[in-house]
Each structure stands twice: as C-alpha cells, then as structure tokens.
Amino acid sequence: MSCEDLRQTQLERLQATLNRVYRNVSFYRRRFKEINFRPEDDFTDVQDIERLPFTTSRDVSDCYPYEMFAVPLREVVRVHASSGSTTNPRVVGYTRQDLRTWSNLVARILSSGGVIQDDVIQIAFGYGLLTGGLGIHYGAERIGASVLPTSVGRTERQIKIMQDFRTTVLVCTPSYALVIAERMESMGFSPKNLSLKHCICAGEPWTEQMRKDIEDRLYVKATDNYGITEVIGPGIAGECLEQRGMHIQEDHFYAEVIDPETCRVLGHGETGELVLTTLTKEAFPVIRYRTGDLCSIMDEPCACGRTMRRLTRIGGRCDEVIVIKGINIIPDRIGDILEGIKGERPVFQLVAVRKDHQDQLEIRVEVTEQLFYDKMLEQRSLVDFMSKKIANFIGITPKVKLVERGSLQREGDRVKPFLDHRFGE
C-alpha cells in the first residue's frame, strides 16, 4: 500500500470510528463533549486526533465489564479479558466481523514470520480469557496451517508432540522457548531431530541475546510480535524475516509515540510510550489507548518491501505497572496489602528476577521493630503470611525477603518502587 493510500484509508476509518464511539459509547461522548469536539465537524485530518484525550487502562477497568462496548451485547460473539491484579479486569468484546478481521491480522503476522499453509503449528500459549492462544489459533487456521492447540505447560509432552506430530512452527513466550530448549538438553534430546523451522515469540519483553539463544538451541528462526488485549490481542505488529522491527498493521491501527511525562507526540525514532487507536474494530474500539509500552517507530523502508512502518523492540514499561507472568502488578497496591498486615506501611521494593527462564517476583521489605522478631520461627511465619496474603491478591506467589533498614536502593530519599533484574542487574 502506498503512503498516500494508507493515509486516506486511515482518515476514512478514523472518521468512522470516531463517529461510532461518539454515538454509541457514553465514555467517549462525555470525553469529546468536554473538549467541544464533534467528530463530524472537527475531524478533517488524521492529525486532528492529537486534540483528543488519551484512554488509559484505568478507564477500561472503570468501565467494567461492558460499558465501553460500542455494540449491544447480542452482537458480541466473543469476550476476552486481561488480568487486573487489584483493579477490575479489562474486558473486551468482538463481533463476528471483528473475529474475521482479527484472524486476517494474525494470519498476516504469522506469514510475515514465515508460516505457510503446509506448516504444523504448535500453539503453546494459554487458551482462555487472555487473547494469546485463541488469537493466534484462528490466524493460523486462516492461513490453512495444521494447528496443534497444546496450550502452556507439561513441557515433556510438548516435546513429544513436537517430535511425533512433526511440528514446524512453535508459538510461545520467548522464556518458554528457552525452557523447552533446556528440557530437551537435559533429556539428551537433539532438536536437530525435529522438523521445527520457526518460533513465533510474544507475550513478554525479551532481548536480542534471548533470540540468539532460541535460534541456536532450537535451530529455528525466531520472530517477535506485538499484541495487547485492550487493542485487539496478537495481530497489531509483527516482524518479517528481516528481523528488524515489527511492521505495524497501519491500515487497522493508528500508532503514535508520546513522551509519557508531558504527553507530547514524538517524532520518528524517538523513544516513548506507544499509543494506539483502532481503525476497524466494531465491538470495542479504543481511541488513543496508552499501552504503557516503551518503543519507537522506524520510518525507513524495510528490505522485505512492506511499506508499513515498524516498531522497535518493546524496551519495558513506562508506568509503574509491572508485568510478571502476564499479570499486571501495581507497587502501590502491594504497599496497601503490606500495610494491612501490621497497620504500618513498611518501606519495600519489588524486584523482578528471572531464574531458569521463569520470571519471579521478589518483595524486599525493610525491617522495623514491628516487623522484627527474635525468634527465627516467628519471623519465618510472618514472611510466609505476607507472601500468602499477597499471592491471594495478585495470583502469583512472591518471595518475600526482610532486609536491613536503609538497605534498599534509593533515588534521592525515595526508595525505587521497582527494579527489573530480568535482563541482568
């Protein structure tokens, strides 16, 4: 698609989307009215979108469950949700047409990562309310590949299926690809005996080093792709075999990068927070959704010939929401839970660590008189209690460590709420 055609398509689709949300979603109508914006009169150029307010994950949680839907529930044929740890989950819906669009978008991404009709594709993503499993599934069927919906876990069984069913494409998180590689090595099994050619990775931030590891150990070509439930799920952007950034499907999504502090729209190549607007979704359109993901947009043409611009690798999260094992964790809420235990808010810090390719949450709490016991046993049971209490709330069990007063890393006089050690200290 030429740049001019794309611009025209984006304009028309944006116009239709803005009209639709103005008519059908009270949340957006209220927002637009606050700034005196009538899509019919005030939207004449793509850039006019910069006048509109952002939508945040908080807004979506507050509209739980169906308030942001732009169609009546009877037209919705699928519902997904992303985990909220302490807020309401963010619930999204799809019409029949949305599911068709979604399958096509995922099919495009899979084929740019090398998947063809002859492939046997093993989807080791969780199937359920999260969008990963079913999203990829329908895209792979759309291509006509043979789909093995193995879901996550039971690694030895995954490996047996991979061998016996002659899997050619593996879809999973990059860390799970490494878990599989490691298990093969410990079983004395050579991946050379497999038919595997491609690994399509998504679901968590990863590095070039991890890509190299996956490629060397599984004898595959590994590509990156980007999706977020609130916007559609997988299918937003994906790498081609050049492996240099993820082509954004700009005929379906309008992408901006902003400075997360000032909210100023940044230019090509500048790193900031990715903001996405859907152009074709019916049931759950989003306008200027702040993804919280840090990246930049590359404008240079790609050797593969695709004209859609590319996203760089996601370099982390810009707000203080931490994503561990697909669960969003807000440090402040952890503070609330800890405060509830002894009635005072301890000084604490969350640390994400990666052990044996698995992400873990560590919570370091500075001891105080209230949190200090002479007896090891009592100390131990307090730590266990904290860990259980937090696990109940967020859904994963953290490792709680009591540390000396004043020992946590500080910025000025403030303890940094979060350290990410998943990619080294």
User: For binding to Zn ion (CB under 5 A), which residues are involved?
Assistant: 240, 242, 302, 304, 306
Phi, psi of 43 (to 5 degrees): -115, 100
Nearest partner of 252 among 274, 278, 289, judged by Cα: 278
Q: Nearest distance from residue 142's CB to Zn ion, in Å?
A: 20
Which CB atom, from 240 or from 298, has the smaller least distance to Zn ion?
Answer: 240
Q: 417 by DSSP, 3-state: which?
A: coil
Is there a contact between 296 and 303 (Cβ–Cβ < 8 Å)? no
Angle between the N-to-C axes of helices 96-112 and 132-143, in degrees from 0 to 180, rounded to the nearest 10: 70
Cα(105)–Cα(108) distance, integer angstroms: 5
Which CB atom, from 183 or from 306, has the smaller least distance to Zn ion?
Answer: 306
Cα(387)–Cα(268) distance, integer angstroms: 44
Which CB atom, from 79 or from 302, has the smaller least distance to Zn ion?
Answer: 302
Which CB atom, from 202 or from 334, has the smaller least distance to Zn ion?
Answer: 202
Q: Nearest distance from residue 307's CB to Zn ion, in Å?
A: 9
Q: Nearest distance from residue 244's CB to Zn ion, in Å?
A: 7
Q: Nearest distance from residue 149's CB to Zn ion, in Å?
A: 28
Nearest partner of 294 among 310, 271, 269, 277, judged by Cα: 271
DSSP 97: H
Q: Nearest distance from residue 301's CB to Zn ion, in Å?
A: 9
Which CB atom, from 307 or from 381, has the smaller least distance to Zn ion?
Answer: 307
Spatial CB neighbours of 213, under 8 Å, sequence gap ≥ 6: 178, 181
Nearest partner of 17 among 35, 37, 44, 39, judged by Cα: 39
- What tokens does 283 get? 């049931």
Which CB atom, from 118 or from 300, has the smaller least distance to Zn ion?
Answer: 300
Q: Nearest distance from residue 208's CB to Zn ion, in Å?
A: 17
Dihedral angle computed from the Cα positions of residues 65, 70, 72 and 75, in that order, rounded to the nearest 10 degrees: -100
Which CB atom, from 72 or from 269, has the smaller least distance to Zn ion?
Answer: 269
Q: Nearest distance from residue 305's CB to Zn ion, in Å?
A: 7
Q: 108 by DSSP, 3-state: which?
A: helix
DSSP 51: G
Strand partners, 70: none
Which CB atom, from 305 or from 412, has the smaller least distance to Zn ion?
Answer: 305
Q: Nearest distance from residue 308's CB to Zn ion, in Å?
A: 8
DSSP 180: H
Cα(353)–Cα(421) distance, integer angstroms: 5
